[in-house]
Structures are given as C-alpha cells and as structure tokens.
Structure 1
Amino acid sequence: MTENDYLLAWGLYALAALGCLAVGFRLTSWMWRWLREPLRVVMAILLFTPTIVDPAKDLFAPAIAVGALDLLFKVGNNELRAAADLAMYGMIAFVLYGVFVAVRWPLEKRARVRREQAEAAAKRDAEEAPADEAFAADGRDRYRNPPPAPQGGNRSRVEPRL
C-alpha cells in the first residue's frame, strides 16, 4: 500500500464516518438533551478513534474496526491496544464535554432568568395598557398612508366594480 492509497483510504473512511455521524445525529434528535449529547459523543469516539496497526510503519486504522476484526477472526493482538485507545480518547472527550457543560450551565441559567424577567415585564405592561385603545391610531390613516399598489402592477385598463 503506497502513501497515496493510505491517504485515500483514510479520506474515504472520514467521509463515510461523517455520514454515519450525521445519521446518528438525526436518529438522536428526538431525545432529551442530556441523553442525546453524551450519545453523540460516544458515536464520535467510536467512529473517529484511530489505533496503530503496525508500529514499524506507523500505520493507523479505526480502533473499532481493528478491535472488531481481531475479535472476529481471532488474529493478532491489537484488540487490547484498540480498547485502550478507545478508553483514552473516550476519557478525553468526556472530560472536554464536562467542561463544555460546566461552562454552558450558568449561561443558560442566566438566560432563563432574563427571559422570565422580560416575560413578566411584558405581562405587567399589557395589564397596565390604557382603556381607550379603541380611539388610538391603528396605522391605517387614509390621509397619511398612500393606498397600496394594485396587485397586477400598473394597468392602463380599469375594471368596473359590480
């Protein structure tokens, strides 16, 4: 396998993995957010974790494929290395996800409080509205607003009304 074949294979795998991740995102879109997001992290870990296959040549392959093929055909001893790589990358990804959640939580809390305050202010303003709104200008003043343009554009022929 030449260097170009190796890069082509990884490019095709990356494209297929992105497609699988998109399908996984679509399948989990109906779920509760605190279940959906960790499942998406797990999918990304399983699809995008590489593991070394041949240390002499520095060749990598997807860890899930290496582990599955080594277990299925009972050849090689790479399944433990693949499992270790999956565990390591999984731990790193979940720590980063935890940091993301820890930063997002107070921001959402503040936004929710601001939204509730705005809704309470709007409700209070609606209750304090003046009683004589019936006499207020409604924006359709015939002396200030020009009549709307006809739908058909500028026609030279005027049709009589019946």
Structure 2
Amino acid sequence: MTDNDYLIAWGLYAFAALGCLLVWFKLTGWMWRYLREPLRVIGAVLLFCPTVIDPVKEKYAPALAISALDLGLKVGNNVWRAALDLSTYGAVALGLYFIFALIRLPFLRKKKARQAHAEAAAAHAAAEQKEDDQPFASQDADRYASTSAEPAKGINSAPGGRYRVEPKL
C-alpha cells in the first residue's frame, strides 16, 4: 500500500466514522444529559482511536476494526495492543469530559438561577399589568361588601350577598 492509498483509506474511514458518529448522536439524543454525553464520548473514542499495526513503518489503523478483525478471523496478535489503546484513550477522554462537566456545573447553576429570577420577574410584571388594567378599581377585595351582618335582599343584590355596582355618569 502506497502512502497515497493509505491517506485515501484514512480519509474514507474518517468520512464513514463521522457518519456513524452522527447516527450515534441521533440515537442518544433523547437521553438524560449526564448519560448522553459520556456515551457520546465513548462512541467517539471507539470510532476514532488509532492503533499501531506495523511499528517499523509507523502504520496505524482504527483500533476497533483491528480488534474486530483479529478476533473474528483469529489471526494476528494486535488485539491486546488495540484493546490497550482503546482503554487508554477512553480513560483519558472520559477524564477530560468529567473535568469539563465539573467546570461547567457552576455556570449551569447560575444560568438556572437567572432563568428562575427572570421568570419570577415576568410573573410579577404580569401581575402588575393585570392590576393596572383597571386603574380606577380599588385594591380591596371587599370594597363593595355589605357592612351589616345580613345584606338586604333586593333587586340589585347578587346571590352571594354582594351588591351590584353601577357606574356613575
């Protein structure tokens, strides 16, 4: 295999691996954030982790493909090297992800607090707007309630004992 063929093969593999990673992102899209993101990191490591196949020529191949082919065809001794590379890259990638998640956590909490404060302010503004819709109404709920113990039953009385108020012109 010439160097040009080697680069073309890696380019084709990278294109296919990006497609597989996109499918993996779609498959894990419905999950809880703290389960989805580590699974995506593991998927990326499995797809993009290289391993040495020829130490003399410094030729690399995808570790997942090498381990699957060596185990499936029962040839070669690159399975253990590929498994070691996969576990090493996986541990480093998950460690970096957990550090990133710990750094991101205070920012997410601040964002959630800001959103709760903004929602409370919007609810307060909506309540004030509702009160301002009737500028001449009293703030008291029982402004027109009867002061006597038993309201008079007349033409203008409501079933609840409250009087109907007519506007003055």
| Band of TM-score, shorter chain | 0.7 to 0.9
**CA distance in structure 2 between the partners assigned to 1:129 and 1:3 by the alignment:** 72
**CA distance in structure 2 between the partners assigned to 1:59 and 1:35 by the alignment:** 35
**CA distance in structure 2 between the partners assigned to 1:27 and 1:130 by the alignment:** 46
Spell out the pairing of 1:12-161 with structure 2 (5 A cutoff).
Answer: 12-129=12-129, 131-133=131-133
Change in CA separation of 1:133 and 1:78 when aligned onto 2, cut-off 3 Å: same
Change in CA separation of 1:66 and 1:17 when aligned onto 2, cut-off 3 Å: same
- RMSD of aligned Cα (Å): 1.4
TM-score by length of 1: 0.79
Change in CA separation of 1:130 and 1:43 when aligned onto 2, cut-off 3 Å: closer
Change in CA separation of 1:21 and 1:130 when aligned onto 2, cut-off 3 Å: closer
TM-score by length of 2: 0.76
Q: Corresponding residue for 1:6? A: 6
**CA distance in structure 1 between the partners assigned to 2:130 and 2:32 by the alignment:** 43
Q: Could you tell me which runs of 5 or more consecutive residues in structure 1 were left unpaired when the two chains were aligned.
A: 136-162
* Aligned residue pair count: 135
Query: Could you tell me how far 1:89 is from its partner in structure 2?
Result: 0.3
Runs of 4+, deviation exceeding 4 Å: none
**CA distance in structure 2 between the partners assigned to 1:81 and 1:122 by the alignment:** 59
Deviations 1:96-142 (A, max 9, x none): 1011101111100001011111111221222223645368xxxxxxx
Identity %: 57
**CA distance in structure 1 between the partners assigned to 2:80 and 2:37 by the alignment:** 27
